[in-house]
Amino acid sequence: MPQTRSWRAQRVIDRLPKKLSRQVVASLVGCVHCGMCTESCHYVLSNPGDPTFAPAYKADQLRKFFKRHYDWTGRVFPWWVKAKSLYTDEDLEQLKDTAFGKCTNCRRCTINCPMGVDIATLNRLTRGLLTHVGVVPEGVAVVSKDQWEIGNQMGVLKEDYIDTLEWVSEELEDELDDTWQGIPVDKMDADVVFSINPREVKYDPRSISDAAKVFHVAQENWTMPSECWDMTNFGLFSGDDELGGAASRRLYEKVAELRGKTLVISECGHGYRSTRCEGQNWGQTDVAFPMESHVLTMLRYVHEGRIKVDRTKNSIPLTFHDSCNNARSCGFYEEPRELLKLVTTDFREMYPNRAENYCCTGGGGAMSMSEYTPRRLKSAKVKAEQLKATGAKVVVTSCHNCVDGLADLIKHYKLDMKVTQLVNLVAEALVPLERPKHFEVKPAEKAAALPLAGYKILVVDDEPDELTFLCMVLEDNGATVLRAEDGDTALQIAREQKPHLMTLDLSMPGRSGVEVYSEIRNDAVLKQLPVCIVTGRPELRQVLYKQAVRPPEGYVDKPVDEEKLLRNVRKILEIEAGTD
Amino acid sequence: MSSFLHFAQHRLQEICLGIMALVYTARLVWIFRFKPGKERQATTARRNTDRSKGQAYSLLNVAMPWSMESSRRNLFFYLQFVVFHLGVIAALGLSFVIPYAPQLLQPTVVLLLQVLMGAACLVGILRLIRRATNVYMRAISSPDDYFSVAMLTVWFASAVLAAPNNIAEQGEWASLTYFLLTAFFILYVPFSKISHYLYYPFTRAYIGRTLGHRGVFPLQRGPKPANAPELRAQLAPAPAKEG
């Protein structure tokens, strides 16, 4: 009796021939099962003994039903070549687990295959077939939806994006010279159109700020688009060429609309690969303007003498992690090293490196698939060992995905390391401007209409998104914001800068907020500093009140309500004003 | 020579080679029906490389064990690969030499062929053992994978025995076995994984073109640290062999 087939399985089988190119077919029929790819995969190395992680095994999951339907031996004698069709939704779920949960499409197996089988491309094809019928991890579905509907993969609204650019611009007023006029948005005929990763808007505005600083010092004629600014592309991860093409076209068309001369792509491996290489192929479109990584732009600035850098400003021992998409799919690995050596003094090469480097383990969209997190972190063992062996204190990478992947594994394996990007190091190494603008907080000179104008507030929180949000709210209301991500830094800034108020998170790694609070209250200089506790752990409130010290002046629960926060801050500062 | 052996050495081989050619032609027509993907973007290769260099590097990769980590770190396996494939060439060549140029089979040549094909036979046995005992290999192996290697191993053994081509002293059985196995081998190959040599130029040329255009091929390796062997051992523990 013939086996019945679910409609999803049928659609996957029907879809397959539409996605077959000559390269793909050659890769499907060319594998000899020699097993040479096995040890090239970080999943295998971290999970010895489990053959389901072997690259050839993973590729065979697609090969099986290809052979059953499109290859003659597989059609006539399926058992002889292990050909097998897909029948049920459970078969698809199993395929999903392999294609999304056991591979980051890092392409390390591909370059280690004696036959030249492009295993990573086969895995992406499998993902695309599954995406077509909606069998994808929830995170991938959500992110893809945001990219389709909102135009960027993190669902950042236009107002929030513009707000961020505005406050980054305002912040830079303090640091840059008088010619700084803010980040230019939608400027026509710019020499450089700068596109970014939405993660920078949401969690890492410092990288936007640092990039802006570099552009400004280099006196670049640059701009950022108000819309269609996202250079990332979840089509690469979901295998959905339609999404890949649409997302790329949006950006290409925006650059053309602005009559930009060069599209510069901020440091992001998959964004660079998608925008620079794959987008034109997915979208079947040709692009008239050149595109380059921001790393290359910065390197050019140094070579052309447009910026001057002092490498002694970055003297901590550091190593470089090659993003898979940059190194193995775009050949982009020497330029970051060249730049790195110009802006740092203690660079240590990781081994293996360049195109042979191991994946950060957060690639291929893995960071958005929470259901596979334990597996991902277990598979990161080999990467952790690799990082540890360098003896470096900082790992530099040119990829936002890698930043998150590495930060996660560093935390998990308790490595004494931090992650940063080249743009941060270049900005740090920039020599002081010739016409620095001396900045001093003068409340009267600030926009008088803003309620917190003239007040210096120290925000302490270890969660980058929370920190960004709090800073944004307070700055929007006129405050000069100082920020700290841990207790020690907070105490140091408080002593040096003497803020009018501190907002303090209680749950932080290292010295907790409770300890910091006690120290403030017991410190002769700091004990009068008003503190507003901002925490998601209400039970810690009791701990604070049990201390034999003055209780905090304010208290705000997480998730933070903007109005409540401002009410608290205003109330505390009014009290202080009255006291003074 | 019996008429059956003569048939096995000549007409049977010709028929089988004809069928093989037909099947391969059909296979090539099939593969050419698929459109090749195109790299529309400008090259990302800033170093001294391009599509052609990438393609040449990729196709010659087979002769550069240092170019891939997988072969660089498994030089014994690479050596097995070389011996095995030279053995195939020798054994196939023998099927033409015996009927058409037997005078070439001088004692030294025969000895060299026997050593090479004997070594290939030994490699075949080692590969069968590896395929059957390594948990990863078992998981990816199909009956065709086992049968292809086993068949080639037996074929090598028969070629070693047939190489002296001394029917007068040996009798016909060795030669007959070898030619019948060769005929079967030629017929079976297009339907098995052994036909990978037909696809090799496609896979290697396309990946080479793509990665050459993108500046990845030829691969460039950075300086190796002095403690590379220890790091390698630390980073890549040998996977479990037994399942």
Q: Does domain A311-429 have CATH number 3.40.50?
A: yes
Q: Which of A45, A81, A276 sits opposite B41 (nearest CB)?
A: A276
Q: Cite the DSSP H helix spans in A283-332.
A: 294-303, 324-330
> Of B117, B61, B55, whose CA–CA distance to B89 is shortest?
B117
**Distance between A139 CA and the closest CA of chain B, angstroms:** 30
Say whether B137 and A39 touch across the interface (CB within 8 A).
no
Rounded to whole angstroms, the Cα distance separating A490 from A487 reads 5
Element (DSSP H or E) covering residue A223: strand A222-223
Cβ atoms A217, A246 nearer than 8 A = no
Cβ atoms A100, A139 nearer than 8 A = no
The per-residue pLDDT for range A489-501, each reduced to its tens digit, is 888 888 888 899 9
Contacts of A30 in chain B (CB under 8 A): 196, 199-200, 202-203
Three-state SS for A244? helix
- Tell me where in chain A the CATH 1.10.1060 domain(s) lie: 7-136
Say whether B68 and A56 touch across the interface (CB within 8 A).
no
**ipTM field:** 0.94
- Tell me which of A36-50, A76-90, A274-288, A511-525 is least confident: A511-525
**Distance between B86 CA and the closest CA of chain A, angstroms:** 16
Say whether B239 and A382 touch across the interface (CB within 8 A).
no
Q: Of the CATH numbers 3.40.50, 2.60.40, 1.10.3470, 1.20.120, which one belongs to the domain with range A148-303?
A: 3.40.50
Say whether B237 and A290 touch across the interface (CB within 8 A).
no
Element (DSSP H or E) covering residue A419: strand A418-420
Q: Which residue has the tokens 């935390």?
A: A411
The per-residue pLDDT for range A399-418, each reduced to its tens digit, is 999 999 999 999 999 999 99
> Of A197, A36, A63, whose CA–CA distance to A121 is shortest?
A63
Greater pLDDT, A445 or B141 = B141
Q: What is the percent of chain B with per-residue pLDDT over 70, rounded to a whole number?
A: 93
**Distance between A205 CA and the closest CA of chain B, angstroms:** 28
Rounded to whole angstroms, the Cα distance separating B1 from A438 reads 105
Say whether A328 and B216 touch across the interface (CB within 8 A).
yes
Contacts of A328 in chain B (CB under 8 A): 216
Greater pLDDT, A207 or A176 = A207
Residue of A nearest to B74 (CA): A36
DSSP letter, residue B233: H
pLDDT confidence tier of residue B236, bands split at 50, 70 and 90: low
In this predicted structure, the answer to whether residue A12 has a pLDDT above a threshold of 70 is yes
Chain A interface, best mutation among B81, B203, B217, by max A CB count within 10 A: B203
Rounded to whole angstroms, the Cα distance separating A316 from A151 reads 39
Other beta carbons less than 10 A from residue A370's beta carbon: 12
Element (DSSP H or E) covering residue A418: strand A418-420
A397, HSE (Cβ side, Cα atoms, 13 Å): 32
- Tell me which of A99-103, A149-153, A264-268, A574-578 is least confident: A574-578
What the block records as the tokens of A363 is: 């690639």
**Distance between B120 CA and the closest CA of chain A, angstroms:** 16
CATH numeric code, B3-29+66-219: 1.20.950.20
What the block records as the tokens of A395 is: 């790992």
Say whether B140 and A26 touch across the interface (CB within 8 A).
no
Q: Which of A23, A30, A279 sits opposite B37 (nearest CB)?
A: A23
Say whether B35 and A21 touch across the interface (CB within 8 A).
yes
**pLDDT recorded at residue B139:** 98
Cβ atoms A322, A354 nearer than 8 A = yes
Total length of chain B: 243
Backbone torsions φ then ψ of A158, nearest 5 degrees: -55, -40
**Distance between A86 CA and the closest CA of chain B, angstroms:** 18
**pLDDT recorded at residue A452:** 87
Q: Which of A38, A118, A332 sits opposite B136 (nearest CB)?
A: A38
CA distances from B77 to A28, A44, A550, B71, B83 (A): 24, 19, 73, 7, 10
Say whether B143 and A277 touch across the interface (CB within 8 A).
no
In this predicted structure, the answer to whether residue A152 has a pLDDT above a threshold of 50 is yes
Give chain A's mean pLDDT: 91
Q: Which of A56, A112, A385 sits opposite B140 (nearest CB)?
A: A56
In this predicted structure, the answer to whether residue B242 has a pLDDT above a threshold of 60 is no
Residue of A nearest to B198 (CA): A30
Cβ atoms A98, A52 nearer than 8 A = yes
Q: Which of B44, B69, B143 sits opposite A332 (nearest CB)?
A: B44
Three-state SS for A195? strand
In this predicted structure, the answer to whether residue A577 has a pLDDT above a threshold of 50 is no
In this predicted structure, the answer to whether residue A444 has a pLDDT above a threshold of 50 is no
CB pairs under 8 A between A and B: 221
Architecture of A443-579 per CATH?
3-Layer(aba) Sandwich (3.40)
Query: What average pLDDT does the segment A101-130 reach?
Result: 98
**Distance between B143 CA and the closest CA of chain A, angstroms:** 5
Peptide bond before residue A336 is cis, with ω within 30 degrees of 0: no
In this predicted structure, the answer to whether residue A540 has a pLDDT above a threshold of 80 is no
Q: Of the CATH numbers 1.10.1060, 1.20.1260, 1.10.3470, 3.30.70, which one belongs to the domain with range A7-136?
A: 1.10.1060
Query: What average pLDDT does the segment B173-195 reach?
Result: 96
**pLDDT recorded at residue B231:** 66
Burial of A450 (C-beta count, 10 Å sphere; 0-12/13-18/19+): middle
pTM, two decimals, is 0.81
List the A456-460 sheet strands across, edge first: A480-484, A456-460, A501-504, A531-535, A554-557
Backbone torsions φ then ψ of A168, nearest 5 degrees: -65, -40
In this predicted structure, the answer to whether residue B112 has a pLDDT above a threshold of 90 is yes
What the block records as the tokens of A491 is: 């105490």
**Distance between A416 CA and the closest CA of chain B, angstroms:** 18
Rounded to whole angstroms, the Cα distance separating B173 from A538 reads 90
CA distances from A540 to A465, A485, A514, A530, A552 (A): 22, 19, 8, 18, 12
**Distance between B88 CA and the closest CA of chain A, angstroms:** 16
Say whether A116 and B216 touch across the interface (CB within 8 A).
no
Residue of B nearest to A48 (CA): B239
Chain A interface, best mutation among B127, B152, B216, by max A CB count within 10 A: B216
**CB crowding B113-133: b at 16 or more within 10 Å, else e:** bbebbbbbbbbbebbbebbee
Burial of B50 (C-beta count, 10 Å sphere; 0-12/13-18/19+): middle
Q: Which of A22, A57, A386 sits opposite B140 (nearest CB)?
A: A57
Q: Which of B45, B142, B192 sits opposite A82 (nearest CB)?
A: B142
Greater pLDDT, A117 or A547 = A117
Q: Which of B61, B142, B202 sits opposite A26 (nearest CB)?
A: B202
**Distance between A539 CA and the closest CA of chain B, angstroms:** 43
In this predicted structure, the answer to whether residue A568 has a pLDDT above a threshold of 50 is yes
Contacts of B58 in chain A (CB under 8 A): 116
What the block records as the tokens of A213 is: 């600083």
Q: Which residues are within 8 A (CB) of B183 and not within 5 positions of it... i.e. 6 or more apart?
A: B8, B12, B13, B16
Chain B interface, best mutation among A20, A24, A31, A36, by max B CB count within 10 A: A36
Contacts of A385 in chain B (CB under 8 A): 234-235
Rounded to whole angstroms, the Cα distance separating B5 from A492 reads 95
Other beta carbons less than 10 A from residue A333's beta carbon: 23
Three-state SS for B135? helix
